[in-house]
Structure 1
Amino acid sequence: MRLSMSLHVNLVANGMSVEQIVKEFPLLDAEDIRQALQYAAVLIYEELHPLTGSLL
């Protein structure tokens, strides 16, 4: 079973603990969830653009 990384992030964002997620989706483990969150953080970081000029 494959789950999207957005589902991993969404579950954590909506208050589920890693333990709850692993119990609900037994094919996942804590490392899967950690990697999904880490990847999401990288994507968000790359989307940040500093404010310049009149936007400051």
Structure 2
Amino acid sequence: MRITVAFVLKASQLSVQDILASYPELEEEDIRQALEYAACVLSERTFSITSA
């Protein structure tokens, strides 16, 4: 079974322990790598934020 980075990020409101309990095929390192990958991808983008 493949679990995408997007799926891990969407589950990030849960604790690492909760994610691992729900998806035993994942390891803590998988979660860390998914977060690191997402941070790397986003660091390459620039976002404009306008004031309300």
What is the TM-score with the length of structure 2 in the denominator? 0.84
Q: Answer with 1 or 2: which has the greater Rg.
A: 1
Q: How many residues align?
A: 48
- After the TM superposition, which residues 19-30 of structure 1 pair with which residues of structure 2 at under 5 Å, given as runs? 19-30=17-28
Calculate the aligned-residue CA RMSD, in Å.
1.5
Choose which of 28, 33, 37 in structure 2 pairs with 1:39.
37
For residues 16 and 22 of structure 1, the distance between their equivalents in structure 2, rounded to whole angstroms, comes to 10
Cα offset, 1:48, TM superposition: 2.2
Q: Which has the higher helix share?
A: 1
List 4+ stretches of structure 1 deviating above 6 A: none
Confirm whether residue 7 of structure 1 aligns to residue 10 of structure 2.
no
Tell me, which stretches of 5 or more residues in structure 1 are unaligned? 50-56
Counterparts of 1:23 and 1:45 in 2: how far apart (Å)?
A: 30
Q: Percent identity?
A: 38
